Chain A
Amino acid sequence: MEDLKRIGLLFMVMESHYRRHPLQALFLFIGLVTGVTLWVAIQFINEHARASYLEADQFLGAQATHWIKSKDDTGIILKDYIKLRRNGYRQIYPVLEVRLTSADQQPVNLIATDLLALPPIDRGEYRDTNNWQSLTQFPFQAWYPASLAKRLNISTGKQLSLSSGISLPPALIQTRKQQGERIFMDIGAAMTVLNRTSVSYLAVAGLSDEDAISLSRLLPSNLKLMTNEQVLDLSELTQSLHTHLNAMSLLSFAVGFFIVFNAVHFSLRIRTQTLTILQEIGVSVRSITLAIAVETLLLSLLGTGFGLILGYALGQALLPVVASTLQNLYGAVLDHHLILQPIVIFKAWSLTLLGLVLALAWPLWSRTRQTILKQRELIVEKSEDRKILKRFTLIAFGLAILAMLMYPSLSTVTQWFVMLALMLFSAAFILPVLLALSLSALQALLPEKSWRLRWALSDGWAQLPGIRIALMALLLTLTANVGVDTLVGSFRIALTDYLQQRMSADVYVQTKNLNLQKLLQSPGLENHHLRYLVTFRWKKRKTLIRGMNTQAPDMLVLPIAESDPEGLESWYGNTDGVILANEQAQHLSGIKLGDHVEFDTPTGLHSFKVVGFYYDYGNSTYEFYLPFDRVKQYWPKAELQPHIAVWLKEEVDPESILLDAGAQPGDWLYSNDILQVSLSIFNRTFAITAAMNVLTLAVAGIALFASLLAIHQQRLPEYAHWRSMGLKQREWLGLIVLPLGVCVLITWGLSIPLGSLMSILMIEDLNVISFGWTMPIEWRWEPAAHLLIITTGIVILTLVISLTQVRFRLPQALKQLGGDNG
């Protein structure tokens, strides 16, 4: 009880500092909260994105691994579906896709499914109740995406009349992108209204190879089980988004950590005098530690609480950007309301507490090792600062050596991130040393008569202990910005070139409604490319073999990454036994140029020599190109791909040719549209990265601001002394601004090579083990220049505000210096 009272009294003494300096407390608190906010926002989005992937995986068969279709394309009767469900295949669900015509002759597509039959998610659990309810609908209701509703002039509650005289149920405008430009209905209602007795197909989610064999055996003779090959190739980009979100989350963790560290470090530094007085009057370090622990706990709870609220709001604000990306990439339903996950709350609190405890551990530990007299000296001793710099150097070298030791054996994305973190922290710890050395070197270089400059640079030594942690956070942010900007810029150029090269046809047409012969005989057709597709598993991964017409226009300029020229020529010449592989097969399965790959084909085991690798961005599978005839030779039952690339003569109207050949509106896509969609998906994918970059930079700015404010407040008596010696305001400003400017410039300068190194490692290595693709590095000056402008802006703003504060308080400090305490 006595101890508790003492701790309470000490806590009151400690927090009296914040009561007397509310502005300082406010900015330290802002630093703490913004660090948590940023991290929390990314975590919320990340977790939400993961949840969306799971949801997308099961919804409407967009990512169903298999389909069950009738061999004569007449649909599947419900009796067969029920029989399969009763046999334990709960991952099967029915899908009805119908093309309708409205009363005013507009084509309309409708999709329906049984929401209650949707399969469990991967972990074997049904999605949570709230979300589940959000997907259900009244049976007699039709959901229209806003754009379709607008086109059809349908508003909520209105019924769409069809040309057949039937009216669809009342409309609900509910945009769920995975339903595309289609009306979505409950399957029972759709079948009743449309008078259907069969569904279009059954979708099967998460079917293993073994299950696929046993399911095939169960199917009636009129049905066939087939792999879903219409999965969007671009879905792999979601992984890219995820990787970037993870990287940004780690970065914000690091910056948040530095800010928390900075805030606590300052609160202790500024209260050193109080702590020493307390020890002089007999307070033990243990009691002080306990009082600080109470303060830490309160700070962590407050910081986490406010950080969570703001992080949730920020996450909510950024979510539409991520949502549109996911919807476009994945066709996923994305709930626009973030869920507050307990794990995020716990992680946020742990982060704050970890930062606080680590920030406290060192000063408290050193306090226990020093006499009270020594602690007094510490406040002013430059030699003690040198000792700290020595420790920083040791830590920096230790981390760098650890990173270098890790480098040769890196094999997973997590290991890579750990190595990058070690590298970044190593650089962050060496920064204060570099700054100190630079200030000393500049000071030594200046001639004797430049006494003002020498004074200003020596003042850097007084500023450094206070701002070094903020500058370390700034370095992390700037480095990540340069690194990520270079990565994104390089990827953008590589993807654009690749898409332009690959999407060389005028139109891509689905073949399901097409009279292929009629199209091929059309006089307006200049060229076409119809390909075989074989799917199987090879080296534990889904693998595709595409049978290509080697003379098709899009084959003449293949995006080759590496090749054996003679071998490539023989591939173009349809030579037997040579094959091209995508980069994913090269980097993820480990095959090299000239290696032989063996495939178990229906005609036996066959070996093919790899004569080239091609870029294949956005693809998650291993893929090989064989000449068209060779595929038919080894896989006699190979099926043609469900779409065809078409080149048309210049004067021809594509729509009329395609409609003549039986294609229906919506069956074709223009290559330019695909390119634009892909690039806009790309832009949206990285918009979140850019937003987070800017926000992280802002957080580092706040850390710098809080540090400067605290330093100036602490040095107020010193400034008063200078002014009393006749130092003009301009000179005084110069003294403070010059060393700070030098420090910020050096920090920015260091971030350029460091950011470039980071981008090289991310592009050359991390990207390769993550996705299996490579790209050329495109380094540009613009991002670095933009960052310099932004950083300078932050520093100027920071200086203006904190120096205004100082000016406001300086007259009082001068009065005190003169002994007027009136």
Chain B
Amino acid sequence: MLELSHLSKSYQQSDSSVIVLRDANLSLNQGRSAALLGESGCGKSTLLHLIAGLDRPDKGEINFQNENWTKFNEKQWNQVRRSQLSLIFQQFHLIPTLSILDNLELQARLCQRLDMDFRDHLINRLGLNDLLKRLPQQLSGGQQQRVAIGRALLHQPSLILADEPTGNLDENNSKTVIKLLVSLVKDAGSSLLMVTHSSSMAAHLDEQWYLRYGQLEPA
């Protein structure tokens, strides 16, 4: 279970301070998926970055499966990012010089959790069979995002954080990718927290949360 308690975060901008999160709370049960909605610049991505340990909160706690991640040092965070959670970004974040297959397998190999059967299953489901030897820039946006999803799922993490994964895709591609993502997450028994500004995309997920004025509210 993911639980955010009284999370606060502000940034210093020249002479003023911008409050992004103010005493924000959220809980997401294992195996559930949630969409995080809100206006542009309201702090959705910041929240995701805090959960992934890419940034540090000013106050509050992030608990996952009874572990307080906010107390973790960099080494523990690395361990978490390597094996317990996965990140999916709008810009795909694939390594441009590795083949599609290498990109897919990278995180699973790093945490030594590469299951070849599951890999083949994922490749089939993602429709990447004919693209494995190509480089990321030789693929379309939708195809690249499917590779990013595959990489995020192959080591079967407990939590997946997706930051506007369909932001770069057209509507049809977006629907396909989201359906695939939700379905694969369900198969893997992982939790998914996805940032999006699209209500129609959010509707595919189990829960919807809104971020307004630094606080989280269920839809």
Contacts and interface: CB of A to CB of B under 8 A. Distances in A.
A588 B83 CA distance: 72
Contact of A819 (B74, B107, B140): B140
Interface in A25-52: none
7 closest Cβ pairs, A-B complex: A282-B82, A282-B81, A16-B97, A20-B97, A284-B78, A281-B107, A821-B140
A44 to B, nearest CB: 38
Contacts of A16: 95, 97-98, 102
Nearest to A16: B97
A373 B109 CA distance: 24
A282 B74 contact: no
A274 B96 contact: yes
Contacts of B1: none
Interface string A1-24: 010011001000100110111000
Interface stretch (B61-69, B131-139, B188-196, B197-205): B131-139
B141 interface: yes
A9 B109 contact: yes
Contacts of A21: 97
B109 A283 contact: no
Interface in A767-822: 816, 819, 821
A372 interface: yes
B111 interface: yes
A372 B49 CA distance: 10
A21 B56 CA distance: 37
B19 interface: no
A655 interface: no
A273 interface: yes
Given A274-B96, A280-B93, A5 B107 contact: no
19 contacts: A5-B112, A16-B97, A19-B97, A20-B96, A20-B135, A21-B97, A273-B96, A277-B94, A277-B95, A281-B106, A281-B110, A281-B151, A282-B78, A282-B79, A284-B74, A372-B54, A373-B55, A819-B140, A821-B140
B75 A284 contact: yes
B90 to A, nearest CB: 13
Contact of B87 (A9, A13, A281, A283): A281
B97 A17 contact: yes
B59 to A, nearest CB: 18
B52 to A, nearest CB: 8
A282 B98 contact: no
Interface of B: 49, 52, 54-56, 74-75, 77-83, 86-87, 93-98, 102, 106-107, 109-112, 135, 137-141, 143, 151
A819 B170 CA distance: 12
Nearest to B81: A282
Interface of A: 2, 5-6, 9, 13, 16-17, 19-21, 273-274, 277-285, 371-373, 816, 819, 821
Given A281-B81, A283-B82, A6 B97 contact: no
A259 B171 CA distance: 49
Contacts of A20: 96-97, 135
A373 B110 contact: no
- Specify the main secondary structure of chain B where it touches its partner: helix
Contacts of A371: 54-56
A821 B137 contact: yes
Contacts of A277: 93-95
Nearest to B134: A821
Given A20-B97, A274-B96, A279-B78, 15 more contacts: A5-B112, A6-B110, A9-B109, A9-B110, A21-B97, A273-B95, A273-B96, A277-B93, A280-B54, A281-B81, A283-B82, A371-B56, A373-B49, A373-B54, A819-B140
Query: Mostly helix, strand, loop or mixed at chain A's interface?
Result: helix
A21 B135 CA distance: 13
A366 to B, nearest CB: 15
B153 to A, nearest CB: 13
Contacts of B111: 282
A5 B108 CA distance: 13
Nearest to B89: A280
Contacts of B135: 20
A274 B103 CA distance: 11
Given A20-B96, A373-B54, A821-B137, A283 B110 contact: yes
Select the residue from A277, A278, A371 with max chain B CB neighbours within 10 A. Answer: A277
Contacts of B54: 280, 371-373
Nearest to B74: A284
A549 to B, nearest CB: 82
Contact of A282 (B55, B83, B96): B83
B93 A283 contact: no
A19 B97 CA distance: 8
B106 A13 contact: yes
Contacts of A6: 110
A17 B140 CA distance: 21
Contacts of B75: 284
A816 B137 contact: yes
Contacts of B139: 821
A821 B138 contact: yes
B107 A282 contact: yes
A541 B138 CA distance: 76
A280 B103 CA distance: 14
B2 to A, nearest CB: 18
Contact of B112 (A2, A279, A819): A2
Contacts of A284: 74-75, 78
A372 B80 CA distance: 15
A446 to B, nearest CB: 28
A133 to B, nearest CB: 54
A226 B140 CA distance: 92
A321 to B, nearest CB: 45
A371 B49 CA distance: 11
Contacts of B96: 20, 273-274
Nearest to A14: B97
A373 B11 CA distance: 13
A430 B135 CA distance: 41
A13 B81 contact: no
A96 B86 CA distance: 89
Nearest to B99: A16
A280 B87 contact: yes
